[in-house]
Amino acid sequence: MELITVKDKDYSGKRVFVRVDFNVPLDKNLNITDDTRIRASLDTINYLLSQNAIVICSSHLGRPKGKPVLEMSLEPVAKRLSELTGKQVKFAKDCIGTEAKKVVDSAKPGDIILLENLRFHPEEEENDETFAKELAGLADCYVNDAFGSSHRAHASIVGITKFLQDKAAGFLIEKEVNALSKLLENPERPFLLIIGGAKVADKIGMIRNLLDRVDTIITGGVMAYTFIRANNWETGNSKVEIDAIPLAKEIYKELRKRHLEFHTPLDHVVADKIAEDAHYFTTERGTVPIGWTGVDIGPQAIEEYVDCIRRARTIFWNGPMGVFEIEAFAKGTIEIAKAIAATNAFSVVGGGDSIAAINKAGVADKISHICTGGGASLEFLEGKGLPGIDVLKK
Ligand code: AMP
């Protein structure tokens, strides 16, 4: 997929509207607890500054549902962005109207502006044309670097490009699209898909689209229990996505046609409750007793999965193998993270929890690519065009 990128353009002296994803977590005192998303767009921001542009950053934060919410203001992000860029970021208290215009009009080339939360206006998520035109009116050019929001047809992602014809993808989007495209177009074989977590139905489309590309699939979490149940094995009180069982049965049919290697865990850690003080033990597949809940893959499953990982040349991982937030049930997920890090395979990891596990295992620098947008990466791999990326194609 060929995108128009910032490298194709000259931004000298221009006002550039940069859609970023600064949707960072804040604590009760409005301190940023993880600034990964801000750091992820620094390459693009610094590049535009080096081109002597006026950089107008714009983002959403949380779900304010179309009205101003103090706790979801981007003002703390402006402070952090100032620290990270070494420049005084000018904060505009609204993303449109006189507030925004005043700040933009007073800016000089080389300045950075951050506009207030786009979603304080319902028109952002409605992809409203008048709102998009107002945003566009602040700038001469458009750059999208918000990969994690590009599956949404919102005003700052899609609508705005009707009014700012000079548009391009930032470095983050370019990097994400290149890594994910590598999985879809000619991945080096064997290609291993590792799929876990709790949102089963959300991931079925991605599994289906990858069936013609992967050699091996390994499963964990609620995903695995849903497949195990679709095969009529006992799962005790393990969490299963009942509505997704017919979809899992369809996937089984497709797997048989293609003779793919597909694994559910050979054994499980089962607990009497999902809590720090739970009682737990290990049992084989199909023998989870009533009253007990599967919370992690067992030692035999880990051994088998690590072997699959060692053989792979391309790996995509989304979703933990168990309830890894609880220390006693994190082993399967952490072992998977470590095994991926130990290979030379091209590895891509997506989804907040898998990324958290990679960080917990301390192996982030050993992963070829970590996706910044879980939902967007799943939709991309599902083969659906992303509206925000489609408008940036050459
Ligand atoms: P997802 O967002 O689909 O990747 O799901 C991640 C969530 O799945 C995490 O919060 C895990 O605690 C949860 N999870 C993984 N395995 C299990 C399980 N066996 N039972 C209940 N929840 C699980």
Per-residue pLDDT of the chain (394 residues; tens, 9 = 90+): 899 999 999 999 999 999 999 999 999 999 999 898 999 999 999 999 999 999 999 999 999 999 999 999 999 999 999 999 999 999 999 999 999 999 999 999 999 999 999 999 999 999 999 999 999 999 999 999 999 999 999 999 999 999 999 999 999 999 999 999 999 998 999 999 999 999 999 999 999 999 999 999 999 999 999 999 999 999 999 999 999 999 999 999 999 999 899 999 999 999 999 999 999 999 999 999 999 999 999 999 999 999 999 999 999 999 999 999 999 999 999 999 999 999 999 999 998 889 889 999 999 999 999 998 999 999 999 998 999 999 999 9
Chain region(s) in the chain for CATH 3.40.50.1260: 6-175, 186-381
pLDDT of residue 191: 98
Full-model pTM? 0.93
Q: Tell me the two tokens of residue 213.
A: 């590309």
Residue 213 phi, psi (nearest 5): -115, -30
Rg (CA), the chain: 23
Q: Tell me the two tokens of residue 222.
A: 């609620």
Name the pairing type of β-strands 280-284 and 369-370.
unpaired
CB atoms within 10 A of CB 31: 11
Ligand 1: residues whose CB is within 6 Å? Answer: 197-199, 221-222, 238-239, 294-295, 319-320, 322-323, 325, 351, 353
pLDDT of residue 226: 98
CATH no., domain 6-175 = 3.40.50.1260
Q: Tell me the two tokens of residue 145.
A: 């670097």
Q: Which residues are catalytic?
A: 37, 199, 352, 375
Contacts of residue 331, defined as CB under 8 A and 6 or more positions apart, other chains included, come to: 269, 296, 302, 322
pLDDT of residue 318: 96
Cα of 61 to ligand 1 centre, how many Å? 24
CB atoms within 10 A of CB 274: 14
pLDDT of residue 217: 98
Residue 385's nearest CA partner among 185, 150, 169 is: 150
B/e letters for 329-364, b = 16+ CB within 10 Å, e = fewer, are bbbbbbbbbbbbbebebbbbbbbebbbbbbebbebe
Cα of 322 to ligand 1 centre, how many Å? 6
pLDDT of residue 353: 87
The residue type at 36: T
Q: Which of 200, 283, 353 to mutate to test the pocket of ligand 1 (most atoms within 8 A of CB)?
A: 353
Q: What is the atom index within ligand 1 of the atom nearest the CA of 294?
A: 19
Cα of 221 to ligand 1 centre, how many Å? 6
Report the SS3 class of residue 70.
helix
CATH no., domain 186-381 = 3.40.50.1260
